[in-house]
Structure 1
């Protein structure tokens, strides 16, 4: 079975509620139900539609996020990346541990952008 690689947007060390405005991404690799590696990467400047392709280049299979627009979810799906939206604000390792244990509580937290690109949760 192929290893899972999970990307999580972070702000101040915990899940960033707005996907496109994070400081870093935690990239965690999972093998046989355990975290085998973890690294932080700094994203490029935010441009609509850029992050899904950029994250796909790292072999990411899944994204765990707080708020994310439907268009972003579709772009991740086009890259064959699963998007899990509505995760609680926790550190990346805790989110992935919950995810592995099937205990990650997700809520519908879609981010809708108005004509100015402002997020209206």
Structure 2
């Protein structure tokens, strides 16, 4: 299994579509992290980028995110990636918490407004 986390300065980026990169953890059959990879973030909004296809090609099946809009959520789901929103903190700790069964989806989405606004409202 592979888990991806939108990352900025080693913490979960609060907005999926604007992260610096994605930290991808490969997990073995014992739920132990065995490999870490950094995937550069494409330019532009997450819902309009090719990040869903890129992560799918890398074998990612789970994405642990801070916030994202419904467009990005739909793109990732169409690529077979299960999304858990509402994550925050150090990416390694978030991954370990998920693997221990301690993370569920917050169900909260960002709403885009204005011509280029990406403010999150909950």
Q: Which TM-score band applies after superposition, normalised by the shorter structure?
A: 0.7 to 0.9
For structure 1, the 5+ residue unaligned runs are none
Which structure carries more strand by proportion? Answer: 1
- Aligned position for 1:119: 118
* Alpha-carbon shift at residue 108 of structure 1 (Å): 3.6
What number of residue pairs does the alignment pair up?
117
What is the TM-score when the length of structure 1 is the normalising length?
0.87
Moved more, 111-120 or 6-15: 111-120
3-state secondary structure, aligned to 1:112: coil
- Which runs of 5 or more structure 2 residues have no equivalent in the other structure? none
Other structure's SS at 1:120 match: coil
1:81 to 2:78 alignment: no
SS at match of 2:23: strand
Once the two structures are TM-superposed, the CA of residue 54 in structure 1 deviates from its matched residue by 2.1
Superposition RMSD in Å? 1.5
| Aligned pair partner of 1:16 in 5, 9, 13 | 13
Moved beyond 6 Å, runs of 4+? none
The alpha-carbon deviation at position 105 of structure 1 amounts to: 5.6
1:73, CA displacement in angstroms? 1.0
